[in-house]
Every structure is written in C-alpha cells, then in structure tokens.
Chains A and B, each alone.
Chain A
C-alpha cells in the first residue's frame, strides 16, 4: 500500500479474547469494480459482530469471502487457524467450520426438511444416518419447529424455512455462523421468530457475523457493530457508541435515514 493512501479503519477484536476469524488487508474486485477495499477485521470466539451499511457497500461480499463463496484477490483470511488459500483442503476445512444462513433461505426444494438438514452431516462429516437425524431433530426442536421434519420446504412459511436453514447450518456443528441478511426476504410478522432464534444462539455463546438491517437486533445482541460503505469499513464500535454517539458524518447520515 502506498504511503499516500488514507489509512483504512481497522476492526480488531478486543485483545482479551481468542481470535477465531482474522482478516488482514482484504481486497476484492468484480471485474473493474473494487468491492472490498483494505478490510482488516478480527472476531473473537463467542463474539457477535453486526455488519450494517447501505446496499452495495460490500457487506454481503465480505462475509461470503469468509467461507470462500467469493474469491478474494488480495489480503489474508484465517478462520480458526486455517488460512484460506488456493488449497482445496483448506477451503473445505473452513466451510465445514462455518455455517451460513442466506437471505433467500436456499433450502433444497427436492428434499424434506430432515433430509435438508442431515445431507451434509452424512455426506461430509460421514455421520451415521441415525446420529445425523438425532442431531437434526435436536436442532429442529431448538428452532421451534420439530413437527415439520418430514415436510418439503415449499410447504413451510418463510419464517419456518429460515429457521430450518439455521438448524441446517447448526447441525454441522460450526464454530462460526455467518448470517447474510437473514430477515430481508421475510414478511414483517415472521421476522420476530427468526430473530428470536438468533438471539438465543448468541446468548449460548456462538460466534456470529450478522449482516442485517435489524437495528434492534444489533443494539440488543451485538458485541460490536461495523458500518461499511463503498467497500470500506467506515466505523467500528460497541452498539452504545454507535447508536448514541457515532463519530463519522457518513454513519450519522445512514443511521438518521433508517432509524
């Protein structure tokens, strides 16, 4: 990096914790378009990091880089001690340890809820079917829809589908959960049931990175809030700092629009 370039804002985790995700100088381009610019971020075990920002600010791309759904061009990403390089083994390793929940659920429509959940444990973790199903039922219970196990995703409501998606990710036993706007595609009346599950998860000590527009969730559960704009981290802080006394003008402008 040339010296003249403005120094990027770093989002380092508190030093008292044990970092599980470390990102250093991350850059990514879509063709000519510079989506992520000098992102440095680390997340401690058990921390809940909420990423907010206007659409197109690169926040989704950021968390998609963490499990290598998007390839980064510069910088380093290390998840639980495994660095994401061109090594297939490392990529698989990182994906096993991170769960991801998508905006549009992405449940597999040709499989039942139970099959959706047990597919990866059986095929990737090589669990026995009985064990996988037992774990699946446990997590279905946890997200509050044990009775839907044998239905197809198409027969469930949006909120139920998203909860199945969370259960699907949890059953793999991930160390980190990535949420990519999990409530944006939901009807307002079912957003609550999904958020409830996420809150419970956070309280159990799961490491989470959540991209969301739900400011209530950020304020309530977030350990740290990161505001991104134009592919950069603009401001980092605790929810209190963020919602009560933001430093940057850009942050203030954004918050004034959505709050």
Chain B
C-alpha cells in the first residue's frame, strides 16, 4: 500500500502548526496584557506614593464622621468607615428590594393595560411606557425630587395625615411599623418550628398528590399550620409578663427625653457598659405641666400663614385636660385677642373678633389696617394627667415634649425680663413661688410581646416612632419604580403576545372563560417568557439606584464618594465599589440561572 509505506510528515514548523499557533497567540496576548497591567500598576503606585494617598484598607477602621439620614441598622457619625459603607450597601438593598416589588406590580398592570380592548386605556399605557422609557432616569429623579416632592407636599410641621396613621410631608413619609422587642427571642423557636412543619407538610402533600388518584391541594394545609403555630407561639411568648432583669429607664423630664437600658451592674445608674434596650414599651405619666409657644407669621408652601401658634403635638386622648391661655392675659384682653384652634389643643391662630360673631372668621388673624399678623403673642398650655404609651426607638430613646413645671410662666412674668432659663429650665424661678406644681414624671415599663407596634408621632418638626422614609428615598424610589415599570410593562406585553394565539383559542374552545383562559393558560406561559428579562430589569433597577446623588439618598455609591473624598483612598474605594456591584450582579445572575433551570424543567 502506497500510503502505509510512506513516512508521515512529522516536522512541521511551529508557526504553521495549528496546535502551537494557538499557544503562541495566547502567550503573545497574555504578554501584552501583562505588560499593560504592569505599566498601569507601576504608574499608579508611583502616583500614589507621590501624592501620599492610602493604597491599602487600613483606613476602614477609623472614625468616619459622616452623618447619614437613613440607617437600617444603628449608626452614629462616630462609627468607622466600614460601617458607613455597610449602611450604604444596606440602603442600596433597601431601595432595590422595595423598588423591585413596586415596579413589578405597576409593570404588570401597565403591560396588561397595553393589551386592553379599550383603545383609550391602551393608549394611556402606551404613552406611559414610551414617555418614561425615553427620558433619562437622571432627569426623572431630579424631577421627582426637586420639582415635585420637595416643593409640593406640606412642611413637616403640618403634614398630611393619611388614614392608618401615616404622615406625609416634605421631610418624607412615616408609617406605623412592627418592631421586634426583647421578647422576640422567645418567639424564634416557634417560628423555626412553624417553617419546619410547613416544609415537611408541603413535602408530604406533594408525595400524596403524586400517589393519590384524587387531586390534592398541596399548599393550603401547610400554610394554615404555619400560621397557626406562629400565632400560637406568639401567644405563648406573650404570656410571660416579666421584664428582663434590670430593665430601667432614665428619664429627664424637663428635656423630654429618656433612655431605656438594662442595668447590668445593678448600681441603679446608667453606666457606659449598660446596653440600651430598643423598642421597649413604656407609659409616661405626668400629673401636671405646661408648655409655652409664641405666635408666628411665616411663609409655608408658598402661602403666608399669620398669627399661628404651634405647641408640640398633644393629642386629646393623651391628656385628661389641656388648657391653653395667653401668657399675659391682661395684655391679651386689652388687645381683644382670642384663640382659634385648628387642631385642639396644639395648633391654632390668635385673632381679634372684629365682626363680633364670637367665632374666627378668616382675615381676623391679621391687623385690619396693616395686614400684618399678630406675631410674638405668648401662649401657655397647661396639661393635666398626661399619659402616653411610647415605644422606645432603635436606640432605646423615649421622647416627650419638654414640659415646664406648671405655673412657671406666671412666675416668669414677675421677673423683670424674659429669662429663657426660667421658662424652660424651670428650677431656679420655680422655687420662689408657691403655686408652681413640681414637675414629676412616672415612667412605667410595660411587659411586651415579641413584636410591638410603634406609632408615628409628629411633635413639632420631626417624625417620632414608626418607620420613617426620607423624601430623598421616596424620590429615588418613585423615579426608579416608574422608570423600571415602563420597561417591565413592555416585557409583560411582549410575553403575553408571544404566547401562541392557538393556546388562547384552544382554551376558549375547551369552554374556559376569558378570565380563566388568561389566568390558567396564557399567564403561566407568559410568565416563563417574561421572567428572565424581568430579572435583568431588577438588576438594572439595583444598579440604577447608584443615581442616588441626584436625590441625596445615602446608598452605597453616595457613601463611597464621600468616603473617597475624605480619605483620598481612590484605589481601595474603587475596588470596594466594583466588588460590591459585582457581588450584586453575581447574585442576580445566580438567581437568573436557577430560574432558567426551573423553567427549562417545566418545559419538559
């Protein structure tokens, strides 16, 4: 045989050999890349050395001194840099988590609207989607923040009350929230048990469903068991009415502040090592005390508000009696002043009843000739039987208005000049008079269940209690949600339309109603098409939250820029940022892979 006899060609020049060409190319490529990296790294090290900038991460432990308005976990400016960055990361998750849910809901609604049979509804959805998708997110964020949320809602001292105990103002939104107390630990085993039982239940029902001839509903029973065990556990945990050892409160009544703590060393005084107790339930009782305020003429939300007084907010249900009177009754009588409450007893105006109808008529709160309001009129509120249920905040703080001893104002009048100390501090002036009721507070610590409902309270110009979302958060959230929902809406529409027409027709032909057809046949199939691109929209939303500097919300990127600015640690901060975002992206990619696998499984 000719071929078998001939020798094979063994020597091939390496530059023509398929096998070695590849290796050669890679060596050259890697060499070029390595050279480039080497040059850049050398340059960077030289530059860092010259400018004396930190190139390591040792600064992470030093004091940050960065004030952050919104912190999901306790934080003070005294905390180190790493904690500030951690807060930023958590804030990113906080806005992304909520944003993803809201964007999905709105997106699905818009996507379904896009396919409505009603032309008008369809068109609204189309305009919504096209408009929002084609305007930069940056413009939208600034629009919501500076053009809508900052100017339009009322000021914090006059917030909109939304039914359910929510308050909205230009500072943000506050709403009642359930917080875990010191008793929460007693509930945890029950929760674990509930979840375990539910999981076992689901597995058992699944098996049953596979074996049984008759249809078996998998989910209801385990879910009922879950709820029942959790509820029972809550009840059992609440039965223990004892307080933790050494639970104590340190309340300074004339400052209106207290701190709940655990007196571990048992010396009866709050020492530096005694831990603060967050979310403790307390009742503050004050027999008699008074507050003072002066009327003001101010501009608010573009409107001039005249002769207005505002005490710290006292709700009628919290007092046995509250009386508001002029600080100087004789002068008030002389000038014919009367008081009109817009919200008894804390808010109102001072007016002169010019038309004599015994009631406040708009216009009477300002001088007839000059049109100027009556400013600086002092008022005193005397409160009897103040009793309020207050849930301590995350730092164990309990706050009430800063009361003065009852009768202080009268006694101050005899002083030659208005001495602020005598009004607010009370003690010095108060001792000289007999009719001053000594200021005493009785703070009772209540036994708590595993969770406690913290309500919102608006004393004067801030929110207390509940959960508070800053206007910065709201603006960014609104913009992200609205922007992303437009993209999700378009994906949902595409997904529903992509479900073959035949599927719909087959379902209708089987006698399913149009709504059954949609929910049982079309939607499940559309979900499969829609889910992967929607997940990547979730990732986009998360990454887009880095536009937070435009709304002043302290998420990861914003905190990182501040940290870089303070420390000059450009390279470490850049590395941290890149690593954080990569981590987030990888988590999303991981979820996406799982979803894709499951969807592929369903397909089979």
Contact = CB atoms under 8 A, between A and B. Distances in A.
B190 to A, nearest CB: 53
A42 B2 CA distance: 10
Interface in A166-223: none
Mostly, the A contact residues are strand
A249 interface: no
A78 interface: yes
Interface in B1-55: 1-4, 8-9, 12-13, 16-21
Given A85-B9, A87-B9, A19 B2 contact: yes
Most chain A CB within a 10 A radius of its CB, from B2, B4, B18: B18
Contacts of A90: 9
A88 interface: yes
Contact of A86 (B2, B3, B4, B12): B12
A235 interface: no
A38 interface: no
A151 interface: no
Contacts of B20: 86
B19 A86 contact: yes
Contact of A76 (B3, B12, B16): B3
Nearest to A71: B18
Contacts of A86: 12, 17-20
Interface in B360-406: none
Interface in B530-578: none
Q: Size range of the interface on A?
A: 10 to 19
Contact of B12 (A12, A24, A87): A87
B8 A83 contact: yes
Given A83-B8, A85-B12, A24 B17 contact: no
A87 B16 CA distance: 5
A78 B3 contact: yes
Most chain A CB within a 10 A radius of its CB, from B8, B9, B13, B19: B9
B8 A76 contact: yes
Contacts of A22: 2-3
A52 B21 CA distance: 37
A145 interface: no
Contacts of A78: 3
Nearest to B14: A86
B18 A91 contact: yes
Contacts of B12: 85-87
B7 to A, nearest CB: 10
B243 to A, nearest CB: 70
B3 A89 contact: no
Q: Size range of the interface on B?
A: 10 to 19
A88 B1 contact: no
Contacts of A83: 8-9
Mostly, the B contact residues are helix
Contact of A88 (B2, B4, B8, B18): B18
Interface string A37-75: 000001000000000000000000000000000000000
A9 B120 CA distance: 77
B176 to A, nearest CB: 63
A95 to B, nearest CB: 13
Contacts of B18: 86-88, 91
B16 A89 contact: yes
A76 B4 CA distance: 9
Most chain B CB within a 10 A radius of its CB, from A22, A24, A86: A86
Contacts of B8: 76, 83, 85
A12 B19 CA distance: 31
A42 B3 CA distance: 9
B60 to A, nearest CB: 49
A68 to B, nearest CB: 9
A87 B9 CA distance: 10
A12 B1 contact: yes
A88 B21 contact: yes
B5 to A, nearest CB: 10
Contacts of A23: 3
B132 to A, nearest CB: 37
Contacts of A24: 1, 3-4
Contacts of B4: 24
B10 to A, nearest CB: 8
Contacts of A12: 1
A31 to B, nearest CB: 19
Contacts of B16: 87-89
Nearest to B17: A86
Contacts of B9: 83, 85, 87, 90
A12 to B, nearest CB: 7
A26 to B, nearest CB: 11
Nearest to A83: B9
A4 B21 CA distance: 39
Contacts of B19: 86
A89 B18 CA distance: 10
Nearest to B18: A86
A19 B8 CA distance: 17
A87 B3 contact: no
A88 B16 CA distance: 5
A86 B8 CA distance: 12
A145 to B, nearest CB: 37
B267 to A, nearest CB: 76
Contacts of B21: 88
Interface string A91-102: 100000000000
A12 B20 CA distance: 34
Contacts of A19: 2-3
B470 to A, nearest CB: 56
Contacts of A76: 3, 8
Nearest to B19: A86
Nearest to A82: B9
Contacts of B3: 19, 22-24, 42, 76, 78
A76 B12 CA distance: 15
B525 to A, nearest CB: 31
B22 to A, nearest CB: 11
Most chain A CB within a 10 A radius of its CB, from B1, B17, B21: B1
A56 B379 CA distance: 99
A178 B9 CA distance: 25
User: Which 9 A-B pairs give the minimum distances between C-beta atoms?
Assistant: A22-B3, A87-B12, A86-B18, A86-B17, A24-B3, A88-B16, A87-B16, A86-B19, A89-B16
Interface of B: 1-4, 8-9, 12-13, 16-21
Given A87-B12, A88-B18, A89-B16, 12 more contacts: A19-B2, A19-B3, A22-B2, A22-B3, A23-B3, A76-B8, A78-B3, A86-B12, A86-B17, A87-B17, A88-B17, A88-B21
27 contacts: A12-B1, A19-B3, A22-B2, A22-B3, A23-B3, A24-B3, A24-B4, A76-B3, A76-B8, A83-B8, A83-B9, A85-B8, A85-B9, A85-B12, A86-B17, A86-B18, A86-B19, A86-B20, A87-B9, A87-B12, A87-B17, A87-B18, A88-B17, A88-B18, A88-B21, A89-B16, A91-B18
